[in-house]
Amino acid sequence: MNVLELLNMVREGKITPEEAERQLRVQPFIDLGYAKADTHRLIRQGATEVIYGAGKTPEQVTGIARALTEGGASCVLVTRCDRDMFQTLEKEFDVCTYRDDARICIIGNPPAPSPNSCVAVVTAGTSDIPVAEEAAVTAEALGSRVERIYDVGVAGIHRLLSKVETLSAARAVVVVAGMEGALPSVVGGLVSVPVIAVPTSVGYGSSFEGLSALLSMMNSCSSNVSVVNIDNGFGGGFIAHNIDRRSAPL
């Protein structure tokens, strides 16, 4: 049943508005055989389903993206998208851009941010920027305004302190760090908003490909810090956007 049929049933008194809302929250999806495209995720969660590109063929990603756009999505993100996959997608969609640094393809036009929107994305070092860009581009594509503050790790804490005013204006902060993962705790002690810590696999042998940073962040003494998985810039950016969207309405 499509949305129009459902609305007509409400108008004709065949179902209640409450029942229609319930159905809209659990239906529909488009069964493509290899995937089930969730065309109503925007209604339930406030954002269109995001396609994780790794492990999928370009043809599979194209099929899912087409189902989502035909289902009403005005902007679709494909994360962990390589350039070969993007070249297939850009042949199929009129508006299609690629961010090499973030490995994200954006199909369609992102919504404009609200005037009060602000997400800060912070890195400890330059080597953390690829993960940070995944977070920043995700938040931007979902409709947040992003301030980037890069290479301000604890080895030179004065660099971070020079950006306190920018940090204080943000409604959510994503902090991306490898090595010992100390930066999120420091940022958490400087701001009054949620801090999403993203550990990266940057570091020497004893960093255990990000595990040391992950454990440090999970043991943060700053009570406003939460943590996503290693190298999960997308997760950090998505959560930050949700906080920003709810706290900075139009």
For the stretch 217-249, pLDDT in tens is 999 999 999 999 999 999 999 999 999 988 765
Q: Kindly list the distances between the CA atom of residue 217 and the CA atoms of 162, 181, 230, in Å, as whole numbers in the listed order.
A: 23, 6, 11
d(CA 53, CA 102): 13
Domain that holds residue 76: 29-108
For residue 7, the model assigns a pLDDT of: 83
What is the value of pTM for the model shown?
0.85
Asked, for residue 158, whether it belongs to a domain, the answer is: yes
Q: Are 51 and 76 in contact (CB under 8 A)?
A: yes
How does DSSP classify residue 125?
S
For the stretch 161-206, pLDDT in tens is 999 999 999 999 999 999 999 999 999 999 999 999 999 999 888 8
d(CA 82, CA 136): 18
Among residues 77, 108, 139, which one ends one of the domains? 108
Same domain as 146, residue 222? yes
Mean pLDDT for the chain? 91
pLDDT band for position 1 (50/70/90)?
low
Among residues 66, 88, 108, which one ends one of the domains? 108
pLDDT band for position 59 (50/70/90)?
very high
Among residues 47, 74, 108, which one ends one of the domains? 108
Same domain as 81, residue 36? yes
How does DSSP classify residue 112?
P
Same domain as 103, residue 124? no
For residue 169, the model assigns a pLDDT of: 92
